[in-house]
Amino acid sequence: MRIAGYNIPMMASLLIWAVAWEVIGRAGVSFILPPLSAVLVKMVEIVPQANFLIALGITARCFLWGVGLAIVIGVPLGVLMGRSVILDRLVLPWVNMFISAPLSALVPVLMVLFGFGEETVIITTFLFAVWIIILNARAGVMQISPSLVEMARSFGATGWQAFSSIYVWAALPEILAGVRIGVIRGVKGVIVGQLLVSVVGFGKLFEIYSSNFLMLHFWALLLVLFFFAFLFAEGLAWAERKVEYYAANRA
């Protein structure tokens, strides 16, 4: 973008908002919003603390398990749905229902079923991430050119060979897009799960910070989480661009 002959870098708008935050914080409009600089100082202070690192460890573990399961189950299921009309008819209504359902409302039920521990957070993460991964893998497989499928058959591919060396690769751009969105939703899931369970990980920290009006701690934690989510999404977007060259060239 150019303004008055100067090139403005992409992230410049963030700077404006950061300054605005700082000014409003210093003006003391509300105790809810302390100045950004104080939040950053607090961030440096709390991140190396044991309770933060433990919470981070729990979050990372729950996130990796939840999203990992969502990928390991979602991609093959989506691919199979794209290839089998019967399976598609059987499963698709559920997928469509859950993808638009307010999953947070399910978490209390999950707590009853799985307890107030990491299992519930893992399942919440899984439920947030898996549906879009299924749908994208399915859409990717459905657009594979019929002749590529015939090619695999005519050269004698077994079902497993067709799956592992044709379907997954031909649908890879869509699968990766689904995984990226699934990961972003998984970040939401892992946080929402912890907030609702509220006795493990960041949920516990959020609970302590907000009930004690520790706004600096609260914002510092939030910024860290936002940063991680952004990092994940950007990392996957980069991986997606790596395979884009053949997404455009596969007709």
- Find out whether 63 and 56 touch, Cβ atoms under 8 Å: no
Q: Please name which of 70, 140, 68 lies closest in space to residue 103, comparing C-alpha atoms.
A: 70
Least distance (Å) from other proteins to the CB of residue 9?
Answer: 33
Number of residues that bind other proteins (CB under 8 A): 23
Angstrom distance (rounded) from CA 181 to CA 232: 10
172 binds other proteins (CB under 8 A): yes
Q: Which is nearer to other proteins, 17 or 238 (CB)?
A: 238
170 binds other proteins (CB under 8 A): yes
Residue located via tokens 């210093």: 26
Contacting residue, 13, 30, 145, 212, with other proteins by CB under 8 A:
145
Contacting residue, 150, 231, 235, 241, with other proteins by CB under 8 A:
150
CA torsion 36-41-42-47 (nearest 10°) is 120
Least distance (Å) from other proteins to the CB of residue 180?
Answer: 19
141 binds other proteins (CB under 8 A): no
147 binds other proteins (CB under 8 A): yes
Give the burial string for 145-178 (b: 16+ CB within 10 Å, else e). Answer: eeeebeebeeeebeeeebbeebbbebbbbbbbbb
**By CB under 8 A, which span of 125-133, 155-163, 199-207, 219-227 interacts with other proteins?**
155-163
143 binds other proteins (CB under 8 A): no
Angstrom distance (rounded) from CA 18 to CA 34: 12
Q: Is 6 left (phi over 0), alpha (psi -120 to 50) or beta?
A: beta
250 binds other proteins (CB under 8 A): yes
Binding stretches for other proteins (CB under 8 A): 145, 147-148, 150-158, 161, 165-166, 169-170, 172, 243, 245-246, 249-250
